[in-house]
Amino acid sequence: MTPTILHIDMDAFFVSVEEVLDPSLKGKAVIVGGSPEGRGVVAAASYEARRFGVHSAMPIARARKLCPHAIFLRGAHKRYSEFSARVFAILEHYSPLVEPMSLDEAYLDLTGCERLHGPAVATAQRMHDEIRDTVGINASIGIAANKLMAKVASEFAKPNGCFRVLPDQAARFLAPFPVGTLPGIGPKGVQQFRRLGVRTVRDLAALPLEFLEEVFGEWGAQLHDKARGISHSPVQPREESKSISRETTLEEDSTDPQYLESVLSYLLEKAAGQLRGEGLRARCVTLKLRYSDFKTVTRSRTLTVPACEDHILFATVVDLFRKLFTRRTRVRLIGVGLTSLTREALQQMDLFDTPARSAGRETLYAGIDRIRTKYGFRSILRATSHNEE
Ligand SMILES: [Mg+2]
């Protein structure tokens, strides 16, 4: 049986939530993220703001230059988590196989559900309308035979559409697109391919497997498959998360600690959002840095009490960063990982406000205060201080 995989992606999610709460924002250039002092990075931008070149993960200062008339909002993770939970509740009504990728993005496996729900495109449209009517947010949905093509299809459907790529049309559909359309190929990859004379997916598909393996090692075989729209990665429902990580290759290698910390904060928010979305807590936090010479280093720390709060996890990862980062070598890639995930601790902590819990919290806050004292209050929570207490 050919699989039916959906990729559901909310359009400008954080901005859309703000618009639901304050409809006067609709149709305006709205940018969420950063601090009132104008530091940090863009977490989300409305389509009106994007027309000026603003995009996620861009430094707020640059967004201000590109789009000075935009409305800048700090954002609040708690609100976004709540809206996200409502969206996921709808998705899980359609299939138990839902894999959250972030607060606003998920894969869903509808294979074999046609007798129950009807044709996939009609089901996707119904899902789209239900999210719009009950949560008030537009989604774009891609439908295909695997996750790779579903993701490309949802991107193609944006904003506010549903789009299906038929299984036997995948390679033909992909061929004319720029190679950067393929998930996993970022701006750096695009540059690298350009040097090889590869601009479109068609160019990539023309390269022999042996050549790709010689140039890219293990990644070569994956690229060979991707160029043909082939992917075998299964949709893994939320219970199976053993770790949650987010990483990004920087647009330009950097030694600027302030910039690197704000990127870290952005990645942490995404990872922690997924963590909370899955009702989990993490006991172990990992920082990953890859330098411009491709040397990769990681540092981990185990928390005394598993946590899911941005400010606790961010304080940990930023402390690891400050101990590790010497500014001598430029950073090419930065990432954060959350492991030793537990559900049990969450239930205990949420159901019973035990003395042990308060004591644990006090220890944590004391830890944050120590770091704050050492490095300054703002420096630690600069970009993520969504204090939800
Ligand atoms: Mg989105």
Which domains are present in the chain? 177-226 (1.10.150.20), 242-381 (3.30.1490.100)
Q: Please give the share of the chain, as a percent, with pLDDT higher than 70.
A: 87
* Burial category of 155 from C-beta neighbours within 10 Å (exposed 0-12, middle 13-18, buried 19 and up): middle
Q: Cα(219) to centroid of ligand 1, in Å?
A: 26
Residue 360 pLDDT = 52
Residue 340 pLDDT = 84
Helix axes 13-21, 77-94, angle to 10 degrees: 100
Q: Taking residues 356-366, report their average pLDDT.
A: 46
Is pLDDT at 351 greater than 60 in this prediction?
no
Residue 264 pLDDT = 93
Is pLDDT at 262 greater than 60 in this prediction?
yes
Q: Per 3-state DSSP, what percentage of the chain is helix, strand, and coil (rounded to 5)? A: 50, 20, 30
User: What's the angle, vertex CA 168, arms to CA 162 and CA 172, rounded to 5?
Assistant: 80
Q: Cα(167) to centroid of ligand 1, in Å?
A: 24
Residue 268 or residue 359, greater confidence? 268
Is pLDDT at 157 greater than 50 in this prediction?
yes
* Burial category of 2 from C-beta neighbours within 10 Å (exposed 0-12, middle 13-18, buried 19 and up): exposed
Residue 256 pLDDT = 93
**Pairing state between β 331-342 and 30-32:** unpaired
Give me Rg for the CA atoms of the chain: 21
- Catalytic positions are 105
Residue 137 near residue 131 (C-beta atoms within 8 A): yes
Q: Taking residues 252-263, report their average pLDDT.
A: 92
Cα→Cα distances 198→176, 177, 249, Å: 12, 11, 20
Residue 241 pLDDT = 62
Q: Cα(286) to centroid of ligand 1, in Å?
A: 25
- pLDDT band at residue 367 using 50, 70 and 90 as cut-offs: low
Q: Cα(104) to centroid of ligand 1, in Å?
A: 5
- pLDDT band at residue 276 using 50, 70 and 90 as cut-offs: confident
What does the pLDDT look like over 7-51, one tens digit per residue?
A: 999 999 999 999 999 999 999 999 998 776 777 889 899 999 999
What does the pLDDT look like over 72-122, one tens digit per residue?
A: 998 888 889 889 989 999 998 999 899 989 889 999 999 988 888 889 999
Q: Taking residues 125-154, report their average pLDDT.
A: 97
Q: Cα(9) to centroid of ligand 1, in Å?
A: 5
Rounded CA separation 43/75 (Å): 9
Q: What single-letter DSSP state applies at residue 247?
A: E
What does the pLDDT look like over 173-217, one tens digit per residue?
A: 999 999 999 998 988 889 999 999 999 999 999 999 999 999 888
Q: Cα(123) to centroid of ligand 1, in Å?
A: 20
- Confirm or deny that 104 is annotated as ligand binding: yes
What does the pLDDT look like over 324-339, one tens digit per residue?
A: 998 889 999 999 999 9
- Confirm or deny that 129 is annotated as ligand binding: no
